[in-house]
Amino acid sequence: MNWRLKSALFRLAAALPYADALDRRRRTRGRAALSVDISLHLTPALKMLRRLAELRGFAPAGRVALEIGAGWNPVYGVLLSLLGAQRVILLDIQPYLTFAGVRHVLRQIEPKLPEIAAATGAAEADLRARWRPLAAAPDFASQLAAGRIEFFAPASAAAAPLADGTVDLFFSTCVLEHIPEADLRGVHRETRRLLKPGGLVYHIVDLSDHFAHGDPSLPRLNFLRYDDRAWARLGQNRLFHLNRLRAVEMKRLLDEAGLSVIFVEAQTDPADVEFVRGLALPPRFHGLTPEEIAAHLCHLVAEKRSVR
Ligand X SMILES: C[S@@+](CC[C@H](N)C(=O)[O-])C[C@H]1O[C@@H](n2cnc3c(N)ncnc32)[C@H](O)[C@@H]1O
- For residue 244, state whether it binds ligand X (rule: CB under 6 A): no
| Strand order across the 87-91 sheet | 149-152, 87-91, 64-68, 167-173, 195-206, 297-304, 259-267
- For residue 157, state whether it binds ligand X (rule: CB under 6 A): yes
**Distance between CA atoms of residues 280 and 286, nearest Å:** 10
- For residue 71, state whether it binds ligand X (rule: CB under 6 A): yes
Q: Which of 173, 191, 243, 268 binds ligand X (CB under 6 A)?
A: 173
198: left (phi over 0), alpha (psi -120 to 50) or beta: left
Q: Which residues within the stretch 72-91 sit at the binding site for ligand X (CB under 6 A)?
A: 73, 91
Query: Cis peptide before 154, with omega less than 30 degrees from 0?
Result: yes
Q: Which is nearer to ligand X, 64 or 75 (CB)?
A: 75
Three-state SS string across 162-201, please?
CCCCCEEEEEEECCHHHCCHHHHHHHHHHHHHHEEEEEEE
Q: Which of 3, 78, 92, 169 binds ligand X (CB under 6 A)?
A: 92
- For residue 117, state whether it binds ligand X (rule: CB under 6 A): no
- For residue 268, state whether it binds ligand X (rule: CB under 6 A): no
Q: How far is the CB of 40 from ligand X (least distance, A)?
A: 9
Q: How far is the CB of 39 from ligand X (least distance, A)?
A: 13
Under 8 Å between Cβ of 305 and 260: yes
Q: How far is the CB of 259 from ligand X (least distance, A)?
A: 17
- Which chain residues interact with ligand X by CB under 6 A? 68-71, 73, 91-94, 96, 156-157, 173-175, 178-179
